Amino acid sequence: MKYNKYLDNITIYKNRYRDELKDINSPLYHKLDWNESSQMPYSKVKDILIEEFKNLDINYYPDTNARLLISKLASYNKIPDESILVYNGSDAALKNIFDTFLNVGSKVFVLGPTYTQIDTFIISNGAKIISHVPKVIWNVNILDELVEPLGISNADIVYINNPNNPTGVLYNIKSIGKLAKMYKSKLFIIDEAYYEFCGETSIDLIELGNIILVRTFSKALGLAGLRLGYTISSDAINRLLSLIRNGKEVNSFAQRAGIVVLDNIESIRKSIKNTISTRNWFCKVISDLGIKVYNTNGNYVVIRHQKYKEIIKNLFESNIIIRDRSTLPQMHDCIRITIGSRNQMEIVLNLIRNII
């Protein structure tokens, strides 16, 4: 049978360590590989959600316009309701964006190393990736150095992850605005998955008309298991996105969960502060051991060590999963570790100390 020929250029994603778990939901495992939140005020939020679920009419489709959730998001971001679209996770938002704006032969400029899930969305549309990897990937000023030869002028779309995953670099918002103004005919996708951990956003650039912000509830807001994300953009862009977006994809429970989280945002902000405090402490003690560690503007750190394979293996044998990032450009010998609770990070610290 015939199928999309561009799928021949894609390999199925597999997560070796999670795939090896007999019971992925077992509390025995410390999942510090995908930057999920482990410091949410779960008991409070879960208790409310249990009551919310009792009142849901799950036999009916969800509100395809997610009006209550969008109203909360508009208030949270201090923008009009019309600027927001909600999705079944930020990945679904990114797919919708690329499906809407890419044609066969289109080009997407990517500042690497960065979030690789987008590769699938780009390639499956018959488009090409123009990747620029700077010599120093932790250079916060790299956007100011992007000039003609680096590919933006040849691209149709520019993707910037800010703060960037996996490096954790926070690029200058003014530099993003400068590029967006310079290349008015290009669509700029600013992925702000880790926005809540840094508080910096390109939201004021939306008025330029060629920018889409992508946000998620999976990181700081702690709803990775329910899949919820949203975009912020101009009316013109949102009209185009809505042409193929499926309004039914965000289920009723996820919508209610998003509302509950936003209603309890102050409690969640305390958890975010705890995560940042734990991250900074962990970086200091790891550095004191003589290990190269990169602090970030997200809920994770990057460690570079020649024994990185041994660290990954030993932690996994102790039921702790972390992320091997050594295959990414300029990240040889690197691992990424999600910041969990103080107790979890002390366990990680002691295991690493024993290994080195």
Distances (CA, A) of 19 to 38, 77, 89, 356: 20, 37, 21, 27
Q: Quick one: which H or E segment has residue 64?
A: none
For the question of whether the overall pTM of this predicted structure is more than 0.75, the answer is yes
Residues with Cβ within 8 Å of 200's Cβ and at least 6 positions away in sequence, in order, are 162, 163, 170, 173, 297
With CA atoms as reference, report the closest residue to 41 among 274, 310, 225: 274
Largest CA distance in the chain: 59
For residues 39 and 268, give the distance between their C-alpha atoms in angstroms, rounded to a whole number.
Answer: 9
Tokens of 310: 């041994």
Strands 211-216 and 323-324: unpaired
Cis omega (within 30 of 0) for bond into 166 = yes
Domains of the chain, each with CATH number or no CATH: 5-40+269-355 (3.90.1150.10), 42-265 (3.40.640.10)
- pLDDT value, residue 145: 80
Q: Are 211 and 221 in contact (CB under 8 A)?
A: no
> Quick check: 322 and 33 in contact, CB under 8 A?
yes
Angle made by CA atoms 82, 85, 91, in degrees to the nearest 5: 160
Q: What is the dihedral of CA 59, 60, 61, 62, to 10 degrees?
A: -100
**Cβ contacts of residue 236 below 8 Å, gap of 6+?**
209
The Cα 331–Cα 258 span in angstroms is: 35
Q: Can the peptide bond before residue 41 be classed as cis, meaning omega within 30 degrees of 0? A: no
Q: In what helix (H) or strand (E) does residue 211 lie, and over which residues does it extend? A: strand 211-216
Angle, CA of 10, 15 and 19, to the nearest 5°:
125
Q: What is the pLDDT along the chain (356 residues), one digit of tens a residue?
A: 998 998 888 888 777 677 776 776 767 788 999 999 976 655 677 788 888 888 888 899 999 999 999 999 999 999 999 999 999 999 999 999 999 999 999 999 999 999 999 999 999 999 999 999 998 999 988 898 876 656 799 999 999 999 999 999 999 999 999 999 999 999 999 999 999 999 999 999 999 999 999 999 999 999 999 999 999 999 999 999 999 999 999 999 999 999 999 999 998 899 999 999 999 999 999 999 999 999 999 999 999 999 999 999 999 999 999 999 999 999 999 999 999 999 999 999 999 999 98
Helix (H) or strand (E) holding 345: helix 342-355
